[in-house]
Amino acid sequence: MKGKNLRVTDTRPNIIALRLDASFFFERAVRSLDRNHYDKALKYFRKAVEYEPDNPVNHCNLAGILSEMGDYQGSNDILESVLKNVKPSMTECYFYMANNYANMEQFEAAEKALVTYLEEDEEGHFLEEAEDMMELLYYELDRPTKLNRIKARQGAVEHDQARMLLEEGKFAQAAKLLEQISGDQPELLAARNNLALSYYYMGMFEKAKETIMQVLQDEPGNLHALCNLAIFYQNEGGGPHLDELMASLAVIVPFQQDQVFKLGTTMGIMGRHEEAYKHFHRLLKDSENKEDASLYHYAAVAASNTGRYAEAKRLWQYVKKLDPVSETPRFYLSRLDELSRKGQLMEKLSYHYHLPFNEQFKLWEKYGSRSVPEEMKKDPLVRSSFFWALRHGDDATKTQVIQALALIGDEEVREALGLFIVDLTQNPGLREQARAVLRRMDGQQADVLVTMPAVPTAEQYVELRAAAADPQMQAVLDKAFSMMGKRYDIAQHHDLRELWLEYLERIGTEGFTIQHVDGWAAALEYLTAKMHRKQATYREIAGRYGISVSTVSRYARQIDSVCGIKQKIAQRLPSFTEKV
């Protein structure tokens, strides 16, 4: 065609090169899932794994689609492979596996995987879902899941366990657990607050105060710590520090219920009954507290202490309805009626949900030799009052407490009485009563039933050495104590001294002379070891003292002939035989 230029164009279609990588197949897989094409999604996820075998997400996606398709075992095989070969720190795989096991109705395996997830996972992305699964497992296995900790909650499980121990009155056990939590996570102030309370309930006031002061150094406005400190100051007799602190607490109006309750009980304990009444009255308005018998009791006490007797009676009647087995509301209702008939006012009452101390003893005496009800044994306030009185009461009260603790007879009591026995500041007669209780508790299984981990301090050695005026008699003790060292605890040092004093008292020391200090000391150590079921032989002890076996044996037989040690041991341990 004349006059026109011929232009040639490229008629080939545009070609876009496909980049086949893991992302490409992942996107295709997701698109297939959106269309419910599970077979295609599975195929694409497999290809993604082939392209990026070291990427754990690809493997988890593949495990996820297999689970969706009902291949739970295949899914778990992949998840186990991730943990073993790809990324062992990918702890969420345990949660996915727990789901798969649950779907296969393998509930034991599901529980094991779920516990591993909770105890090892730091992020806690599936905490809520894990709690739901724990409820399912509780239903299916008919028992709670044993869980030591939830790592993502930074000690919350352990703290809950410690709080439960406190509520059960197991203060020493609670203190040990709280000490561990506080050491591992010092930022968890609630644990340190409860640790201070544990010490306080056990009568360890200085340690309690020291712990609270450390909390307030880290958080000066911590209300729970301030309330605890007020009670500790009062225990010391009050003073300007307490007055200043109470003035600050009096103007606080907390909003969180636990803080309102804490402040209310603190005000009540401090004798600020009007403020206590206002705080408890606020709590009673909340419908969530309608079943809390202890709260209604505290409110009744506050009402009584402020002269609102009609309201106090109404509140205790409600407590009686909520807690029909408790003697506490019955006692106070009876007391109100009695004083009303006489036209007298009610005395100021303690803010504890248990009977007054003297009434507790009357009730326990009513049971006599019969078993005390479990709810009384476990009542933490009853137990705390007993443990406190054992440390700080007068001798008459301590005698009653020792008798009452004999009826409880658990490990907490054993530990408390054991500490009492080796406290050389206590009345020797009372310590012997405590020792007799421990013997009965153990069914004559041991003469000394509590093994204390600590060796005597320097001050305790001074007390232990005060045995006899005669320097020769004392020299035997000094030699035995120096040789026993850290192999024996304070209770065992104490019993060696008691054995020596018993022997000297029975034979009479007039005309008696010590011719072989090492022999007597070695014999005392040997018999003390046997009383405490420690491994000991004549030969081993003789070797340490640098004397002959016959010397140790001769003096041990002499002491035994007077004090009857082997007979006592044989009564509680018939298989006992001497080893040379």
Residue 202 inside a domain? The answer is yes
Q: How many domains does the chain have?
A: 4
Residue 141 inside a domain? The answer is yes
| pLDDT at 4 exceeding the cut of 50 | no
Final residue of a structural domain among 153, 188, 204? 153
Domain holding 562: CATH number?
1.10.472.10
Please give the pLDDT value at position 518.
92
- Average pLDDT value for residue range 203-226: 88
Please give the pLDDT value at position 463.
47
Of the candidates 537, 558, 540, the one whose C-alpha atom is nearest the C-alpha of residue 476 is 558
Count CB atoms within 10 A of the CB of residue 128. 9
Residues 469 and 400 in one domain: no
Q: In the Cβ-directed half-sphere of 163, how many Cα atoms lie within 13 Å? A: 10
Q: 559 or 488: whose pLDDT is higher?
A: 559
Residues 402 and 519 in one domain: no
Residue 257 inside a domain? The answer is no
Q: How far is Cα 90 from Cα 57, in angstroms, rounded to an integer?
A: 10
Please give the pLDDT value at position 373.
54
Q: Which long-range contacts (CB under 8 A, 24 or more apart) does 480-483 make?
A: 480/521, 480/522, 480/524, 480/525, 481/456, 483/521, 483/522, 483/525, 483/544, 483/545
42 pLDDT band, cuts 50/70/90, is: confident
Residue 369 inside a domain? The answer is yes
Supply the mean pLDDT for the chain: 77
Final residue of a structural domain among 105, 133, 153? 153
Residue 137 inside a domain? The answer is yes
Residue 527 inside a domain? The answer is yes
Q: 124 or 570: whose pLDDT is higher?
A: 124
Q: How far is Cα 35 from Cα 28, in angstroms, rounded to an integer?
A: 11
Residues 142 and 180 in one domain: no
Residues 104 and 222 in one domain: no
> Which pLDDT tens digit goes with each residue over 65-94?
888 888 899 889 989 988 888 888 888 889
| pLDDT at 455 exceeding the cut of 50 | no
> Which pLDDT tens digit goes with each residue over 391-408?
667 777 788 778 778 777
Return the minimum-mean-pLDDT range out of 128-137, 538-547, 558-567: 128-137
Of the candidates 198, 189, 188, 192, the one whose C-alpha atom is nearest the C-alpha of residue 166 is 198
| pLDDT at 290 exceeding the cut of 60 | yes
Which residues, other chains included, contact 13 with Cβ-Cβ below 8 Å and sequence gap of 6+? Answer: none
pLDDT > 70 fraction of the chain, expressed in percent and rounded: 75
Residues 516 and 547 in one domain: yes
**Alpha-carbon distances, residue 569 vs 38, 329, 434, 521 (angstroms):** 76, 49, 19, 20
pLDDT > 90 fraction of the chain, expressed in percent and rounded: 14
Residues 186 and 239 in one domain: yes
For the chain, give the number of residues.
580
| pLDDT at 17 exceeding the cut of 50 | no
23 pLDDT band, cuts 50/70/90, is: low
Residue 535 inside a domain? The answer is yes
- Average pLDDT value for residue range 32-41: 69
Q: Which two tokens stand for residue 118?
A: 């909770």
Residues 130 and 216 in one domain: no
Domain holding 107: CATH number?
1.25.40.10
Residues 131 and 182 in one domain: no
Residues 135 and 170 in one domain: no
For CA atoms 66, 67, 69, 73, the dihedral sign is: positive
- Average pLDDT value for residue range 474-488: 82
Residue 1 inside a domain? The answer is no
| Residue given tokens 């609270």 in the structure block | 212
Please give the pLDDT value at position 212.
92
Q: How far is Cα 558 from Cα 524, in angstroms, rounded to an integer?
A: 11
Residues 58 and 123 in one domain: yes
- Average pLDDT value for residue range 253-266: 88
367 pLDDT band, cuts 50/70/90, is: low
Residues 126 and 210 in one domain: no
**Domain ranges, residue 432:** 357-441
Final residue of a structural domain among 441, 468, 487? 441
**Alpha-carbon distances, residue 336 vs 311, 332, 353, 407, 537 (angstroms):** 11, 6, 17, 30, 67
Residues 437 and 478 in one domain: no
